[in-house]
A and B are shown apart, each in its own frame.
Chain A
Amino acid sequence: MKKPDAQKVRFTRERKLTIINAILIFVVLIVILQLWLLTASMNALLGDDHAVLIPAALVSLGCLGLNAGLLWFVYRID
């Protein structure tokens, strides 16, 4: 059941800024991991090593899911 607005925890702007800074750091780290995965996969493909491509793609998809979840949380605290 959805919480009525009165029961929702509202953060002050200062707190929201702290939360959003923390989320920003997480999101940047995740994207750096994805960039590394992409370059490693490219290197593997050019070296005819096809075995790592699908696991790498799935991990990258998981990272996107994590990023989407964090973005959803950002909009939720808005």
Chain B
Amino acid sequence: MDTPDRDQVTVPPDGRAPQDQPKWRKDFPIDWPQDEYVSRRDLIKFIGLTSASFVTGQFALVVKSLFDRGAAGPGAQAIASVDELAVGETKLFEYPAGSTPRMLARLGEEHFVAYDQQCTHLLCPVIPKVVDGKFHCPCHNGWFDAATGNVLAGPPPRPLPRVTLETRDGVVYATGIERRTS
């Protein structure tokens, strides 16, 4: 049922009914109530575009994951000799060569662990506090467990990526990188 618009104040110069006006006149109204309507409609349109861009991003992640799964691992690489580190000490290394720094820590006589040095929050370098059994990111006070790389406190969303190790003939080898969500 048609009822007259109470908010229609301005009469178009050609005198025709509002619904018979050209599109440009409907899109650039003079009266406030109509302007509110048009601006909300355009906001919905803009949010629709944002929604489309999120979907694009989502599918870009799927494509990236397909490429990542097809890539081969870096292989084994000697990173330190067993005697090089005393218990509680750490050493920085690159694995593979040219990568971001990773750190090897000796937690016990036979217990070596290695992780990315970058915090999973905003990629600040983490500082080893092996004596306390922790790694600390000073940027936003993030704490990781030295034995597992899991998040103990602070904003990091994921554990530190772990470098898998193998000890052969007194040499510690990095054999792969293990990323986890929890």
Contacts and interface: CB of A to CB of B under 8 A. Distances in A.
Interface in B1-50: 1-8, 19, 26, 33-34, 36-37, 40-41, 43-45, 47-48, 50
Given A10-B2, A57-B58, A60-B58, A43 B40 contact: no
A15 to B, nearest CB: 9
A13 B8 contact: yes
Interface residues of B, number: 43
Contacts of A74: 41, 44
B58 A67 contact: no
A42 B68 CA distance: 13
Contact of A35 (B2, B7, B44, B54): B54
Contacts of A56: 58
Interface size class of A (residues with CB under 8 A): 35 or more
Given A43-B157, A57-B55, A60-B54, A50 B40 contact: no
Nearest to B2: A10
Interface of B: 1-8, 19, 26, 33-34, 36-37, 40-41, 43-45, 47-48, 50-52, 54-55, 57-59, 61-62, 64-65, 68-69, 120, 157-158, 178-182
13 contacts: A9-B1, A12-B4, A27-B44, A27-B48, A38-B61, A45-B61, A46-B120, A47-B179, A49-B180, A57-B55, A61-B55, A64-B55, A71-B44
